[in-house]
Chains A and B, each alone.
Chain A
Amino acid sequence: MSDKINETITRIAEIIINELKLEDVTAATFNPDLDLVDEVGVDSMDLATVALVLRDEFGIRIDEDDYPKLSTVRIIAQYILDKQSSGE
């Protein structure tokens, strides 16, 4: 399980770095517990964009109402794994 979540965290970090064109950070150095809004500067349109790429990548739907609680990469990773395991 821990390998799975670490792998998911790394992939989410890669997507965020790529989509938001973040500099001076790599998937390996991205702190998965950073608050995406307060500490990374992600806004709602950024998150919607990332959500669409995650939908492609992981085959899960991210409800718009869930955006506010997806505050860190680790939380997003757990959200994705939960969705995948429940077959949503």
Chain B
Amino acid sequence: MMTTGKASWKFAEILAEPGIRERWEKVRRYFFLRESTYDMTNRCNIRCEGCYYYTGEKQFAAEIGDEEAWRKLLLAEKARGITYAVLAGAEPSLVPHLCRVCQQVLPLGAIATNGLKSIPADIDYRIHLSVWGNDATSKAIRGASDMLLRQIDNYRGDPRAVFVYTFTPGNIDEASEVCERLALAGLPITFNMFSSPVGYDGPLRHSVESLRRTRETMMRLLLDYPQTVLFSPYNVVAHTEPLSLHDLFSCSYPRQNPSTDIGLGRSFRQYRTDLQWDRDAACCVPDTDCADCRHYAAGSAVVTARMYRHATDPTTFSAWLDYVDTYLAVWVRGYEKGPNLCDALVAPPPTH
């Protein structure tokens, strides 16, 4: 796409290449985002195979439904520098009053939901609607009928909504029909990879072959639905390599990062429903097997944090900028993704 072949590049030279400085200035305005995640309730209206929430100890934490307790927690979070809230397990739409409190204190955030129950429009967070295949597959894995139909009905025309398609070895060929239905409905979609919970060895775990097929499918969908799919070729690479995100990029969440001096290791916390947190379990998808983690939420932080190692040449840095531009479009209300700068499948840079 741009100048290559030079042995070494200065950062200033990379920025001087066409299109790069503009995108860099666009994304760096959001470097102030500092996230923590919060399990809102231990209840869910469905049960999905391989659900990370119902793995490990956190599912047994007491549920605190008191709005003032939540407000006090979020105010303390804000005071220690948290600027972005991710409201997740088990199903936040069942406790909209608590989601509202979070948004009142921290205006930026996202809610991960199965989308079967609408979240009130005044809660102005990004809303991530999980999709695990077509409706037949969702019925088999999640036990709910007509999921996509109901999700689309609940969120048609809602600028908060982003659908998140989780690729498993069994639903790769169904992604196209889901993209088509969402394109017709005018709703955006991004991609996630099933990442096994610790100890999980079931059929949803990816293999080298399913990763290869997923990569091909993602690339085709990027071309077929450019107005619908929020993704980039580098997202495809980062999430379909045989190595996990941790192995590729050295995960910077506290669970894998002992440093408390700076970055996620210093600020990130994952609160359970009892409003407690445990540094040893703290990451965006606790109880996921780090050796199999290709989760979209993890990548958003982990790949972004590795800016330095991507600033080797204009192509690699463009790929990283595409990744960050995608992550911001998926997570930040009102952020518009630009055209991808790098069409090539760039290999993740080595650690050193």
Contacts and interface: CB of A to CB of B under 8 A. Distances in A.
Interface in B1-15: 10-12
Interface string A46-60: 111101110110000
Contact of A47 (B252, B259, B262): B262
A43 B262 contact: yes
Most A-side CB within 10 Å, residue of B28, B266, B306, B308:
B308
A37 B266 contact: yes
A64 interface: yes
A68 interface: yes
A64 B263 CA distance: 12
B28 A49 contact: yes
Contacts of A52: 11, 307-308, 311
A68 B262 contact: yes
Contact of B307 (A48, A62, A63, A71): A48
B264 A44 contact: yes
A37 B259 CA distance: 13
Chain B's interface: helix, strand, loop or mixed, by majority? loop
Nearest to A45: B31
Contacts of A62: 308
A48 B308 contact: yes
Contact of B12 (A51, A56, A69): A56
Given A45-B31, A56-B10, A56-B11, A71 B261 contact: yes
Contacts of B263: 43-45, 67
Interface of A: 37, 42-49, 51-53, 55-56, 62-64, 67-69, 71
Given A37-B262, A52-B308, 13 more contacts: A43-B31, A43-B263, A44-B264, A45-B305, A46-B31, A47-B262, A48-B307, A51-B308, A62-B308, A64-B309, A67-B263, A68-B259, A69-B261
Interface of B: 10-12, 28, 31-32, 34, 250, 252, 259, 261-266, 304-309, 311, 351-352
